[in-house]
Amino acid sequence: MSRVKLNIVGLSTGQISGSYTLILGEENSNRKLPIVIGSFEAQAIAVEIEKIVPFRPMTHDLFLNFCQSFDITIHEIVIYSLNEGVFHAKMICEHMGEIKEIDARTSDSIALAVRFKCPIYTYEHIMDAAGIVFNEDMNELLPDDIQEKEVKLARENKEDKSGYTRMTLDQLNQLLENALTSEDYGTAARIRDEIKRRQK
């Protein structure tokens, strides 16, 4: 079976409370693979992508530290199956020269992939079944449900209900510190985005 390499393109809030849509993009292609994941896994992925350092190790950080302590390496993640709308993944691991395949939830696998800096793959038949083709401007050809999520997210960002754009840098830094203290990493990521935007 022909394999397809994927990269993380984006993460957006879903229509269902507590859900997020993780967008994986095929390398050198406009095809994208949207995967609905939970808030905890979305937070775990966002924290690592944004390089936010939590006060105490999160579950996926603990797994990384455990593997490094015992010389276990994750070489790649493979999304190998799509069954009734649910993606299935496996981690290809190595310990003392022995290769093992470990079945895992796709969201957990990707949260670990960003920590181990290992590639993510799927198969051509999965992209054919669930992939979405975008044009060069990243518009269209989205199914209605995914398109609504993206429009909703863009509208929320535009309205800036949080009021971050009206705050000073000192206020933002204080809010960031508070969010990290309370382990609200989703809010911390949004505040950090606003701080980075001003520093460009």
C-alpha span between 74 and 121 (Å, rounded): 13
pLDDT of 200: 63
pLDDT of 67: 96
For the stretch 103-144, pLDDT in tens is 999 999 999 999 999 999 999 999 999 998 865 555 444 444
Query: Do the beta carbons of residue 131 and residue 32 sit within 8 Å?
Result: yes
Q: Find tokens 């609504």 and name the residue.
A: 148
56: DSSP letter: S
Residue type, 36: V
C-alpha span between 157 and 179 (Å, rounded): 19
C-alpha span between 30 and 177 (Å, rounded): 38
pLDDT of 87: 95
Please give the chain's pLDDT, 200 residues, in tens: 799 999 999 888 766 666 788 999 999 888 999 998 988 899 899 888 888 878 888 899 999 999 999 999 999 999 999 988 899 999 999 999 999 999 999 999 999 999 999 999 999 999 999 998 865 555 444 444 444 444 444 444 444 545 777 778 887 888 888 877 777 777 777 788 778 777 76
Instruction: Assign domain 3-159 to its CATH superfamily.
Output: Bifunctional nuclease domain (3.10.690.10)
| Strand-pair category, 120-123 with 72-83 | parallel
Burial of residue 158 (number of CB atoms within 10 Å: 0-12, 13-18, 19+) = exposed
- Residue spans of the domains in the chain: they are 3-159, 160-200
Phi, psi of 168 (to 5 degrees): -80, 165
Of 32, 46, 112, give the one whose Cα is nearest residue 77.
Answer: 112
Question: Does the CA dihedral 68-70-74-75 come out positive or negative?
Answer: positive
pLDDT of 120: 98
Global pTM? 0.68
pLDDT of 158: 43
